[in-house]
Amino acid sequence: MATFIELISDNSKLTPDQVDHLEQLVAEWRLLADLSFADLVLWLPIRKDEKSWPVGYIAIAQIRPTTAATVFSNDLIGSTIDWGVRQKIDQALSESEIVRDTAPELVGEIMIKEESIPVIFEGKTLAVISRHRNADLMRLPSKLELNYREIAHKIFRMVTEGSFPIRNSIYNSESTPRVGDGLIRLDANGIIFFASPNARSALSRVGYQSEIEKQNLGEVFASLAKGNTQPTDESWQTLLSGKFLRRTEYESTDGVLDILVIPLIEAGDRIGAIVLLHNVTELRNRDRALITKDATIKEIHHRVKNNLQTVSALLRLQSRRVEDPVASAALSEAVRRVASIALVHETLSNQSTESVEFDQVFDQIVKNSIELNPRKINFTKIGSFGAFDSKVATALSLVVTELIHNSLEHGLSEVGDELSVEIVKKGNNYTVAVCDNGAGLPTDFNLEKSANLGLQIANTLTKNELNGSIKLFRDGDLTKGEVTFKAN
């Protein structure tokens, strides 16, 4: 199915600013659907060019209310109608005026009332919204429903005046409070003259138990915030006056409210505002728990790294006191292996996720290995690793360390010491080749029967931890240690 932008570009000649206006409208029009208890469909006039009269319309967006049952079970996006088939839509486009409720019509088994609202931006009608409501649900409206509809009418009027959606909106439409979370209606002076039951419950949750209507909302929150050290850039009276679009949070020991203030404008004058309240106490508690958990995990990795470094230092100290060169070399190798594992935990302690950016670990492994070698090594790296989970990263760090160490120990050339590592990645499949230009392997070399402890460790880890394979072979003038595995 074509995207929203493709539907516009394929059927009209709107400017980028006009397309942006329609995008913002669709991003924010859930508010309209919920306040209207209605399905909304956005119809774009189909034109060959800007001066041509439209030959019909194409539905480029559709939304269903969360406050009422939908009247459309099917998806209308991409469907078209010819000019003259829906006269109320034609009239709204031609006259740039809202065409009020028509006589109910039977759609399936439901009597539907329809209203057409032109979408106007900078004096030009860009599209038409058709609003579809169940007529049977409109007969005995409650106080809440009456207020919602009155607000909806005022915002639809803002759509025709080009003042909704409010340009440069400061809130994220995915996480913004919704009508059902709690709604407060303010007059032009910031006085509450309607509050939904959910809004009352949200205020009760943070400690306000008195009657809310006829109170100044800014003063209500200022009284709640007394003794609260929560910093704010503006006073609560300014934030909640209804004069400006605002998104803020109120937090106390009792709870947390996400607050969105939307001014209502008519003919350029502010006539009031609506305030949406969402009790996000449990959500913020979960966020804090996750932050605490992440901090704890990072601290654990940090301590593991410190403990491994302590073990490494003890082994190094012990190796200096051992007179047997074989034992001393074995302890030195143990130091190197412990240090490789410590590098993984050091990387994890500095990251917010449990995945390891392995290139950082690898670069440090190579740096440490080359610095300890008395000869000058020309090193080349081809490709990159990316991120692995900690289990793969730990095993791979040890395998790579052993292969590099084996090359540096046995693969030196009299002409010039060359070491290279090539990483080939195809999806989740990796091949890592450690190459040197040394004398090569013995003709009877067998990795499975090799007495080299480092290669035995690399072989075991590759098979058991990486579920991969490892092989050492001669390729022209180079000796290669090649590891193949699949990262999850």
DSSP state of 56: E
CA distance linking residue 222 with residue 17, whole number of Å = 39
pLDDT tens, position by position, 368-427: 777 766 677 788 888 888 888 878 888 888 888 888 887 777 656 555 677 888 988 888
pLDDT of residue 198: 93
pLDDT of residue 377: 76
pLDDT tens, position by position, 346-385: 766 666 566 778 888 888 878 877 776 667 778 888 888 8
pLDDT of residue 374: 66
Decide if 272 contacts 188 (C-beta within 8 A): yes
pLDDT of residue 161: 93
pLDDT of residue 63: 95
Predicted confidence pLDDT, tens digits, the chain (488 residues): 789 999 999 999 899 999 999 999 998 999 999 999 999 999 999 988 878 889 999 999 999 999 888 888 889 999 999 999 999 999 999 999 999 877 788 777 778 889 999 999 999 999 999 999 888 776 667 889 889 999 999 999 999 999 999 876 665 666 788 898 999 999 999 999 999 999 999 999 888 888 999 999 999 998 888 766 565 667 898 889 999 899 898 988 888 899 999 999 998 899 999 999 999 888 777 877 766 666 666 677 677 777 777 877 787 787 777 878 778 777 777 777 777 677 666 766 666 566 778 888 888 878 877 776 667 778 888 888 888 887 888 888 888 888 888 777 765 655 567 788 898 888 888 898 888 877 667 777 777 777 677 778 788 888 888 888 888 888 777 788 888 888 86
**CATH class name, domain 374-488:** alpha beta
Considering the chain, what is the average pLDDT of its residues?
A: 84
Helix (H, G, I), strand (E, B) or coil at 185: strand
Task: Say how many C-beta atoms besides its own lie within 10 A of residue 209's C-beta.
Answer: 8
CATH number of 4-139: 3.30.450.280
| Same topology between domain 4-139 and domain 179-279 | yes
**What are the start-end ranges of the E strands in 220-294?**
246-251, 256-266, 269-279
Residues 6+ apart with CB under 8 A from 323: none
In this structure, what token pair is assigned to residue 224?
Answer: 């709640």
Domain boundaries, the chain: 4-139, 179-279, 282-353, 374-488
CA distance linking residue 432 with residue 452, whole number of Å = 20
Phi and psi based region of residue 190 (left: phi greater than 0; alpha: psi -120 to 50; beta: remaining): left
pLDDT tens, position by position, 311-348: 777 877 877 778 787 787 777 777 777 776 776 667 66
pTM of the model: 0.63
pLDDT of residue 413: 57
pLDDT of residue 400: 84
Residues 6+ apart with CB under 8 A from 53: 47, 83
CATH number of 179-279: 3.30.450.20
How many helices (DSSP H) and strands (DSSP E) are in the chain? 13, 18
pLDDT of residue 339: 72
DSSP state of 308: H
DSSP-assigned letters across all residues of 420-483: EEEEEEETTEEEEEEEE-SS---TT--GGG---HHHHHHHHHHHHTS--EEEEEEETTEEEEEE
Decide if 258 contacts 246 (C-beta within 8 A): no
Q: 423: burial class by Cβ within 10 Å (0-12, 13-18, 19+)?
A: middle
Identity at 289, one-letter amino acid code: A
Question: What is the phi/psi pair of residue 239, to 5°?
Answer: -60, -40
